[in-house]
Amino acid sequence: MSIKTAVTIGAFSWALSGCGTAVTVLQDDEGATRSLRKQKTYCQSIPRVYSGLAHGFCLLHAPPDPTGILVPVVLLDLTLSGVLDTACLPYTIYRQTVDGSISIYWRVGRG
């Protein structure tokens, strides 16, 4: 494997691991909401349909990031998430119907 191929695969994997759609569709609900709770988002839940976009907007709907790095990364992610969310629509519509929205703070108040 060439260095160029390795870097391309690494960059794609890194981008996909931070992609809101990959986080919300490929992980369980706890994993999907971990970053949102860490950012102290004001969102209470996100719908499963277009969940990647909702995840990105919830990251922006939080106290300001003092480093200033979060906003450009989320804005770039919103584009990728929009495309991937559209591709995942049949699955996410089914999951929304069966499981409902993803609750961000479902563990609050529990032992």
Condensed to tens digits (0 to 9), the pLDDT of residues 10-22 reads: 555 545 455 889 8
pLDDT score, position 74: 86
Is residue 48 assigned to a domain? yes
SS3 percent helix, strand, coil of the chain, rounded to 5, is 65, 5, 30
- Specify the number of domains making up the chain: 1
| pLDDT string in tens for the chain (111-residue length) | 777 665 555 555 545 455 889 889 998 999 888 888 988 999 999 999 999 999 999 989 999 888 888 888 888 889 889 999 999 999 999 999 999 999 998 654 443
Domain with 49, as residue range(s), is 3-103
pLDDT score, position 68: 82
Structure tokens at 43: 């969102």
pLDDT score, position 19: 85
Is residue 110 assigned to a domain? no
pTM of the predicted model as reported, rounded to 2 decimal places: 0.77
Is residue 108 assigned to a domain? no
Is residue 109 assigned to a domain? no
pLDDT score, position 50: 96
